[in-house]
Amino acid sequence: MADPSPLVRALALRTMSYVHVKEFVHATVPQVRQLLRDNDPYVRKTAAFCVAKLYDHDKHMVEKSDLIDKLNSLLRDDNPTVVASALASLMDIWERSEAIKLTIDYNNASKMVAILPDCSEYVQLLLLLSPLLSPPPHHFCCRCRRRQGGLKIPLTRYI
């Protein structure tokens, strides 16, 4: 994970996140945490998807760690691809969780609309769907929170 090449770091992390061995999954968490703050947007994008993959392997470990909070912080990233990847991962986690709720506030929704021209059609659809699927926020920002109840709309998996 200390390789100077962003492609090597991203591919190494992606490979690690696909190994479904408990010890390996636990060893991947610190690497994901570190690479969510990497300088390269491709590495941050890959790390965002790895959080959802780790959630597949051990959802309780991810919910207890700070990975979801770090994923939420990527929604404020300057790179549209990183923002879209973080949102896709959050939506994937939200879709499979009974304890997580996705809410989006005005500031994050405005940012999503602002980056639409820089995104592919798939990402534009994802960005436009996300506010429609979250309940109207009161004082929350775009974060995963404990689910209070309500309708859960199934989505196609994004990862």
Per-residue pLDDT tens for 27-82?
999 999 999 999 999 999 999 999 999 999 998 999 888 999 999 889 889 898 89
Report yes or no on 158 lying in a domain: no
109-153 pLDDT, tens per residue? 777 778 888 878 877 887 777 765 555 544 444 454 444 444 344
- pTM score of the predicted model: 0.76
- Residue 141 is part of a domain; what is its CATH number? 1.25.40
Neighbour count for residue 150 (Cβ, 10 Å):
8
Burial 9-47 (b: 16+ CB within 10 A, else e): bbebbeebbeeeeeeebeebbebbeebbebebbbbbbbb
Q: Is residue 93 part of a domain?
A: yes
Instruction: Tell me whether residue 25 is in a domain.
Output: yes
Residues of the domain holding 109: 6-146
Domain count across the chain: 1
Query: Which residues 6+ apart lie within 8 Å of 148 measured at CB?
Result: 101
CA separation for the pair 144, 140 (Å, rounded): 10
Does a structural domain hold residue 156? Answer: no
